[in-house]
Structure 1
Amino acid sequence: MPQVDAEKIVHSIAEETNTPEETVARIYADALDTYRADARILDYLPLFAARKVRATLRQNASKPH
């Protein structure tokens, strides 16, 4: 599997969700750390982390303020 560029993933999610890259980067790093703690196979962790970040940001955007 090709090496995943975390900066590209963070930038893409930030643009899609209109969220600052710093915020996306923090959430992405936290998600990766959470998945890595129990993972035996690491190949798809960036995909799962990106999916979790998008879901988290969508969920937060739909909450009333």
Structure 2
Amino acid sequence: MNPHAAEELVKAIAAETHAPVETVSKMVEETWAAYSDGARVMDYLSVLVARRVRENLRGIRKDAH
């Protein structure tokens, strides 16, 4: 993922979930690394990463309540 696309993805997820940009950025980096390791097709990886990060952030918010 190019840096500009990653930055835009992080900003969008942070705005949607009301999570700190730093937290979202770290989660995107970690999830990208995990998903891209050994991946042969990268076309939809950003979509899958975004989905997983959003789901993880929702899970954190539910656990906090």
- Normalising by structure 1, we get a TM-score of 0.88
Percent identity of the aligned residues? 38
How far the C-alpha of 1:21 sits from its partner, in A, is: 0.5
TM-score computed with the length of structure 2 as normaliser = 0.88
Query: 1:42 Cα deviation (Å)?
Result: 0.8
Unaligned runs of 5+ in 2: none
Q: Would you tell me which structure has more helix in proportion to its own residues? A: 2
**Poorly superposed stretches of 4+, deviation over 2 Å:** none
> How far apart, CA to CA, are the structure 2 residues paired with 1:11 and 1:43?
21
Matched, 1:55 2:50: no
2:10 matched to which residue of 1?
10
Counterpart amino acid of 1:63? D
- Tell me the C-alpha RMSD between the 2 structures: 1.5
Structure 1 segments unaligned to the other structure (5+ residues) = none
State the aligned residue count.
Answer: 63
Per-residue CA deviation, residues 8-38 of structure 1 (Å, 9 max, x unaligned), is 1100000111111010000001000001113
